[in-house]
Amino acid sequence: MDAFYSDQAYRALVKSPAELVAQTLKATGANARGYTAAAAAMAPMGQVLFYPPNVAGWPGGSSWINSSTLLNRINFANAAAQRSQASMTAQTLAQLSDTLVDANVSPTTRDGLEAFAAAHSADQAGLLFMVLATPEFQLN
Amino acid sequence: MFSRRDFLKQGLVPVFAGSAVPSVFANGVAAAAADSPNATPSDRVLVLVQLAGGNDGLNTVIPFQDGAYHDARPTLRQDQGVLGLNAQLGLHSNLKGLKASWDAGQLAIVQGVGYPNPSLSHFASMSIWETASVQGGIGDGWLGRYLNYLDQVGETPNHALEGVSAGSLVPPELRSKTPVTALQSLRTFRLQPVNEHGTQVDVENPLMKFYGAFKGAGPAPFGALFDTTLQEALQASHALQATDATYQAKATYPANSPIASSLKLVAETIVSGLGVRVAHVTLGGFDNHSREKPVLQGHGLGDRVLVMTWSEFGRRVKENGSAGTDHGTAAPMFLLGAPVKGGLYGQQPSLTDLDNGNLKFGTDFRSVYASVLQGYLKAPASDLLGGNYEILPLLKA
């Protein structure tokens, strides 16, 4: 068990677009019918499913992250959170943080999220987005 | 990646004019040149066009008088309409734009370009071209090393936009310590605000803080990367949004084409003087094991922009049984634009003196890179390429 939390393993991988999209959709309670849209959302993040750049596959790791893909990752979380606003069950910041980022974010981020939650108490989608947009959520 | 089919349908290759998108691109680049006729070397822009998949050099620059060509290509050969460059060689009949550049003295063709012990694997060979090292590998790309060099000598007018690429991924040639911007569309290249019941809530500042804090917090090796990338992205995004507000496109772009949108942005960044030094465009679909047709079309460009094409390999001399060609070796490279001294360079490879059915290369691709780095970008080629390669007189001073 400790090995999972070792420095070598814990948040040592960048989520691939497929992982990021799947986890985001699960977090926003989206249904499975939007799967083609979900696949399409991965393309601007640098991954077209079943269409790797060459036979070696996707290089992964830091190659998922550039200025364009990072903005796309964050904007996708925003759009997904907005879309699911109506169907979402209310969750506290503590619950969101626990499920999505292992209740382990930097103190600055924790303070920032708490401040957002306090200032926008009626905005469940906004809060969910803020958690999904953290650097911590970009990693596995 | 842009597909070869898209370009065939539109009858064009993006940076080479011919139809809506590329003419806009070319116009933009020409406008940039007009704005700064006395560009200093550091203002010079290199646009690298990757013909991904292995372009068939023999059906691009055609040795139409060579009997061996006709024998080797019973179905693929072009008998009629070759655009003659001289008595032996001609461009494929679809390459009228390139021929116009040739006539204007703005096209240099380096023949028989390759490297020793060629790899016939797409990704091994691409990696060799991208890193300019026959070991390949995942180190900085050859143009990434040029960007690093610009940083060292303090040539960083707008850091995030120094290296730009059309598409969603940063190509390995540009891999460097300098962040490189992948441009897809202006709409996606910005941080969207949170929409709280109709009110726009800006999230830029809190997110900048989150990413800044994470840089020092986690054991993860990615903290610094995330932080720098977000900062550079927002800086570049602001610069582009400001530019786009005033930018007047000189032609209409197809509304729903991601290619057009990507290229418009790349052209815009060049034209708007946002400090682009190196731009990269990938054209996919040159891996024509069957039913092959040529694709390039060309057009002239501005003074401070040099366009160079490359492909990971050429094709075999003999066509295969399905009217295609299999992975080969040497192929021509094109350099296009006003900075070029037009003409043919290198040796036309023999079609009969072959190495296991493949053309023997006459010019090392690193010699072409060195010529561009030294002759055009005024950078120390031997340092950046890790060796001394012959400088070809491809470019004006």
What is the mean predicted confidence (pLDDT) over B240-268?
Answer: 63
- Mean pLDDT value of segment A61-72: 88
The H or E element that residue B114 is part of is: strand B107-114
pLDDT band per the 50, 70, 90 thresholds, residue B171: confident
Q: Quick check: B300 pLDDT over 80?
A: no
Tell me, what's the pLDDT at A118?
A: 93
User: Which structure tokens are listed for B332?
Assistant: 């021509």
Q: Which residue of B has its CA nearest to A135?
A: B211
For tokens 């499975």, name the residue.
A32
DSSP per residue over B12-47, as a string?
Answer: -BTTB-SSHHHHHHHHHHHHHHHH-TT--GGG-EEE
**pLDDT band with cut points at 50, 70 and 90 for residue A93:** very high
A22 touches chain B (CB under 8 A): no
- Residue whose C-alpha is closest to residue B29's, from B139, B106, B94, B103: B106
* Percentage of chain B lying above the pLDDT 90 cut: 36
With an 8 Å Cβ cutoff, are B230 and A70 in contact?
Answer: yes
- φ, ψ at B332 (rounded to 5°): -80, 155
Average pLDDT over residues B309-333: 91
List the single best residue of A15, A64, A71 to mutate versus B (max B Cβ within 10 A): A71
Predicted confidence at residue B261, as pLDDT, reads: 62
Whole-number pLDDT of residue A106:
92
Chain B (219-238) residues lying within 8 Å, Cβ to Cβ, of chain A: 219-223, 225-227, 229-230, 232-233, 236-237
A107 and chain B in contact, CB less than 8 A = yes
A108, B212: Cβ pair inside 8 Å? yes
Integer Cα distance of B217 and A12 in angstroms: 13
- Report CB contact under 8 Å: B194, A123: yes
Q: What mean pLDDT, rounded, does chain B reach? A: 79
DSSP annotation of B58 = G
pLDDT by residue (tens digit) across A4-51?
888 888 888 999 999 999 999 888 887 767 788 888 899 889 898 888
Give A119 or B286, the one with higher predicted confidence: A119
Q: Ranked by mean pLDDT, which of A47-61, B32-46, B139-153, B370-384 comes out on top?
A: B370-384
Q: Is the pLDDT of residue B18 over 90?
A: no
Mean pLDDT to the nearest integer, B236-255: 67
CA distance B193 to chain A (A): 8
Query: What is the value of pTM for the model shown?
Result: 0.76
Query: Is the minimum CB–CB distance between B169 and chain A shorter than 8 Å?
Result: yes
Q: For position B4, what pLDDT does the model report?
A: 47
- Per DSSP, the residues of A8-63 read TTTT-SBPPHHHHHHHHHHHTT--GGGHHHHHHHHGGGT--TT--SSTT----GGG
Of residues A63, A78, A134, nearest to B194 (C-beta): A78
pLDDT tens per residue across span B277-297: 898 887 766 776 665 544 333
What's phi and psi for B61, nearest 5 deg? -110, 105
What is the torsional sign of CA A100, A61, A59, B191? Answer: positive
pLDDT band of residue B350 (cuts 50, 70, 90) is very high
Pair of tokens at residue B352: 């009969």
Nearest C-alpha in B relative to A62: B222
Work out the burial of residue A12: count CB atoms within 10 Å of its CB; fewer than 13 is exposed, 13-18 middle, 19 or more buried.
middle
Tell me the residues of chain B between 258 and 277 that have a Cβ less than 8 Å away from chain A: none
For residues B342-370, one letter each, b for 16 or more C-beta atoms within 10 angstroms of the residue's C-beta and e for the rest, the string is: bebbbebbebeebeeebbebbbbbbbbbb
Identify the pLDDT of residue B2: 42
Query: What dihedral do alpha carbons A75, A81, A84, A88 form, nearest 10°?
Result: 170
Look at the alpha carbons of B280, A46, A60, A1 in this order and tell me if their dihedral is positive or negative: positive
Q: Strands B45-51, B199-201: parallel, antiparallel or unpaired by DSSP?
A: unpaired
The span from the CA of A17 to the CA of B290, in Å, is: 33
The answer on pLDDT for B1 being more than 50 is no
Given a cut of 90, is residue A138 above it in pLDDT?
A: yes
φ and ψ at residue B336, rounded to 5 degrees: -135, 135
Buried b (16+ CB within 10 A) or exposed e, B100-131: bbbeeebbbbbbbbbbeebbebbbebbbbbbb
In this predicted structure, what is the pLDDT of residue B26? 47
Mean pLDDT along residues B218-226: 78
CB of A100 less than 8 A from some CB of B: no
How many Cα atoms occupy the beta-carbon half-sphere of B377 within 13 Å? 27
Tell me the pLDDT tens digit for each residue of A68-77: 899 999 999 9
User: Taking CB atoms and an 8 Å limit, are B214 and A135 in contact across chains?
Assistant: yes
Whole-number pLDDT of residue B249 = 55
Question: A59: which 2 tokens?
Answer: 């290089």
Asked if B153 and B379 count as a contact pair (C-beta separation under 8 A), the reply is no
Instruction: Give A59-125 as a DSSP string.
Output: --GGGG-SHHHHHHHHHHHHHHHHHTTTTPPP--HHHHHHHHHTT---HHHHHHHHHHHHHTTT-HH
Does A120 sit within 8 Å of B169, measured CB to CB? no
CB within 8 Å: B233 and A67: yes
Give residue B298's pLDDT band: very low, low, confident or very high (50, 70, 90).
very low
Let me know: does B306 contact B372? Beta carbons within 8 Å.
Answer: yes
Residue B340 contacts by C-beta under 8 Å, 6 or more apart in sequence?
B105, B106, B107, B108, B306, B394, B395, B396
pLDDT band at B268 (very low <50, low <70, confident <90, very high): confident
Whole-angstrom distance, CA of residue B189 vs CA of residue B237? 6
How far apart CA B81 and CA B74 sit, in angstroms, is 17
Query: What are phi and psi for residue B196, nearest 5 degrees?
Result: -100, 100
CB contact under 8 A, B194 and A63: no
DSSP B193-259: PEEETTEEE--HHHHHHHHHHHHHH-S-TTHHHHHHHHHHHHHHHHHHHHHHHH---SSPPPTT-HH
**B25 pLDDT tier (thresholds 50, 70, 90):** very low
Q: Has residue A137 got a pLDDT over 70?
A: yes
Q: Which chain A residues in 114-133 lie under 8 Å from chain B, judged by CB atoms?
A: 115-116, 120, 122-123, 125-126, 129-130, 133
pLDDT above 70: percentage of residues in chain B: 76
Q: What is the ipTM of this complex?
A: 0.94
- Give yes or no for a contact between B129 and B51, defined as CB atoms under 8 angstroms apart: no
Comparing CA positions, the residue from B144, B142, B171, B150 lying closest to residue B366 is: B142
Burial-class residue B373 by CB neighbours within 10 Å (0-12, 13-18, 19+).
Answer: buried
- Judged by a CB distance cut-off of 8 A, whether residue B217 touches chain A is yes
How many whole angstroms separate alpha carbon B113 and alpha carbon B90? Answer: 17
pLDDT in tens, B140-166: 899 999 998 988 887 665 567 888 888
CA distance B61 to B110: 10
